[in-house]
Amino acid sequence: MSNVINYQVATGASAATLKTAVEALVVQGWSTQGGVSFDGTNYAQAMMKVVTPGNVSPFVGTYVITAVTTGVAGAASVTVDGDQIINFPIDFRFTITGSTGKDGTYQVRAAATIAGGDTVIPVDQAISNATVDGTVVGYAVF
């Protein structure tokens, strides 16, 4: 069976914080992919990692956050653009990057649903910041 390439995005508010984030991922076996981008606020660097089958996330991709429901652990959710239900099974882990107060790793708590054409993903972790920004990034769970 072939290896699979997985992707995620390292971000930082300055070149120095981006460098720190990239170096932390390199230690975990990630490599840079392409050049650094800057959106006027944050620096971003695409990262890639070759993983073996059996350790691969259900999807490789990034999704823009379109809504946030704050709440205590088990009562919060994030919403991403479009119908992505198949990509977010229960217990799947993903990261949020480039957000205001939500960057980190999350785990899908219950079945994702569709609302207004977008995918609502209930998470096990608390979310206290309702700012609608950031990106959901899938990655391999080892």
What is the chain's percent helix, strand, coil content, to nearest 5?
A: 10, 45, 45
Q: How many domains does the chain have?
A: 2
- Do 126 and 66 fall within a single domain? yes
Q: 94 and 133 share a domain?
A: yes
DSSP code string of 41-80: S-EEEEEEEEE-TTS--S---EEEEEEEE-BSTTSEEEEE
Indicate whether 37 and 91 sit together in one domain. no
Per residue in 71-96, pLDDT (tens digit) is: 999 899 999 988 888 788 888 888 89
CATH of the domain at 96: 2.40.10
Query: What stretches in the chain show pLDDT beneath 70?
Result: 1-5, 51-60, 139-142
Predicted confidence at residue 141, as pLDDT, reads 46
Do 46 and 73 lie in one domain? The reply is no
Q: How far apart are CA 65 and CA 49, in angstroms?
A: 24
Question: 66 and 43, same structural domain?
Answer: no
Query: Are 40 and 83 within one domain?
Result: no
Task: Kindly state whether residues 45 and 86 are assigned to the same domain.
Answer: no
Tokens of 60: 């490789």
Which domain does 117 fall in, by range?
62-138
pLDDT score at 62:
83
CB 13 within 8 A of CB 41: yes
Residue 17 lies in a domain: yes
In a domain, residue 118? The reply is yes
**pTM exceeding 0.85:** no
